Amino acid sequence: MKDCIFCKIVKGEIPCSKVYEDDKVLAFNDINPEAPVHVLIVPKTHVQSIMDLKEDEYQLIGHVFKVTSKIAKDLKVDEKGFRIVNNIGEDGGQTVPHVHFHLLGGRALQWPPG
């Protein structure tokens, strides 16, 4: 979608620090990392949030989790653990309206979130 920052990254119009890519998703390092490992896993098609997924698009989320587990292994946070975060809407703290999942790790993360 025009004017969507993550669509621009997917199209290569804005650079990113790529971690993983296949035909369905792109993963790159967050520009403002909140942990030693902070990767964003982004479906290539523009969908605002999981609330807007069509019936045949839910399988994409399963694929995102599969990719996330591979990245967690590659970046060696799988043994100590990590967190997957998906912020939705205003109260959820979503700042980029293109569905994405944060992989956070490399330090002990607090709970509950603020």
Taking residues 29 to 68 in sequence order and writing x for each that binds Zn ion by CB under 5 A, - otherwise, the string is -----------------x----------------------
Do residues 107 and 37 touch, judged by C-beta distance below 8 A? Answer: no
Query: Residue 56 CB, nearest distance to ligand AMP (Å)?
Result: 24
Query: Residue 34 CB, nearest distance to ligand AMP (Å)?
Result: 7
Sequence-ordered strand ranges (E) for 1-114: 18-21, 25-29, 37-43, 82-85, 101-105
Do residues 36 and 109 touch, judged by C-beta distance below 8 A? Answer: no
Of the candidates 38, 46, 100, 102, the residue annotated as catalytic is: 100
Residue 4 binding: pick among ligand AMP, Zn ion, none (C-beta 5-8 Å cut-off by kind): Zn ion
